Homo-oligomer: A and B are copies of this chain.
């Protein structure tokens, strides 16, 4: 039997506790698959006395996580502290500088500092791995960087935030409005006390920027993700979408834009957007319900590939963390972003105005004559062709009515222009909401 691989765990919250349980429960199996035992050499967390449902007394304890990076008996530091900067980043930098491989579930840190850490890992000849940072238990980073390695991939998209997907599919099932479902999700533990990162799309944007870099071989650009969350969605939007044959899903969507109109005269640019979309009911993503995640990638030889599974939770996330550790134990650790950082292509953000497609636009309007004429005139003047228009039901207690409109396929900039024309109009009582409609 080969020497054990010695690991140190920093952070013993939900994920950290799951990693300890997994390594203990599946120890014999992991040793057979990794061809050597994986040994927890030391652990560190804020509060030693907290009951985590696992017996930590057999492992060395460090009060200061930073000490893990300095231990001579540690091969791999597993960072589960969280946060894009602060102690997590300091630990990551120190571990790599100290010649230790780093495994992390920290999407925010990788989205902000992944290229720096990957370059440092290359220089130090250690591994940097973060399968658990994207889509929880789904091995999508491995799937794209290794399984799909032979393909030029120009498009990757999916459902990357389980909290939002839980809220949207519950709104679908119950007819309740966003705020009510969010409150219930918080009571049930499906949403954080401060849900901003989830519901405003930031968490999905972190994951999307990581996926895009790996799929396209491009330099990671989290700063360039256009992000809109789900907090402005109403039960009426879900109803309208259903009547039209769609469901609403928060999608992260990234593409290599090689079109002439992308702002770069045809050079490849990077399009990245997180936004609620209308998804046709015969599309595989329309059947992804609850806290499940799913990622679709389209390659020039493999065609369309879909990965689906549990996007969060201690078990699935621990599964991804330990898969990374097993890869390191086997000595099978490629470059963090599938190729060395120096070979990743720098792509400027794409302008999205030339993108064409159908859109759903929801207006909140006063219940009086002339409103429809104002809106349709703005559409005409901006060159937006209307496919259907539904004015929904009776006015609410504020005398407002929902007006939902679906456009024929056309450039996104035309819709933007129509909304600009309507800015400040007395015919709108709230900012309109635009959602793209994806094909089947």
Contact = CB atoms under 8 A, between A and B. Distances in A.
A305 B309 contact: yes
A389 interface: no
A338 B300 contact: no
B306 A307 contact: yes
Contact of A308 (B138, B146, B306): B306
A332 B282 CA distance: 38
Nearest to A325: B150
A309 B303 contact: yes
A5 to B, nearest CB: 13
A174 interface: no
Given A305-B137, A332-B334, A300 B25 contact: yes
Interface in A25-43: 25-26, 29-30, 32-35
A255 to B, nearest CB: 17
Given A139-B143, A147-B323, A152 B303 contact: no
B309 A302 contact: yes
Nearest to A287: B287
A282 B34 CA distance: 37
Contacts of A114: none
A399 to B, nearest CB: 40
A56 to B, nearest CB: 19
A299 B322 CA distance: 13
Given A284-B287, A287-B284, A319-B150, A22 B143 contact: no
Given A33-B150, A146-B327, A305-B308, 5 more contacts: A26-B301, A32-B217, A139-B147, A306-B309, A308-B308
Nearest to A339: B32
Contact of A32 (B35, B300, B309, B343): B343
Contacts of A300: 25-26, 315
A205 interface: no
Copies of this polypeptide in the complex: 2
A148 interface: yes
A318 interface: yes
Contact of A146 (B18, B139, B302, B316): B139
A344 B151 CA distance: 33
A332 B148 CA distance: 15
Given A143-B139, A150-B319, A284 B308 contact: yes
A276 to B, nearest CB: 21
18 contacts: A26-B151, A26-B300, A29-B217, A30-B150, A138-B305, A142-B142, A142-B143, A146-B327, A147-B323, A150-B322, A300-B315, A301-B315, A301-B316, A301-B319, A303-B313, A304-B309, A306-B306, A308-B308
Contact of A304 (B18, B304, B310): B310
A326 interface: yes
A408 interface: no
Contacts of A131: 147
A284 B34 CA distance: 31
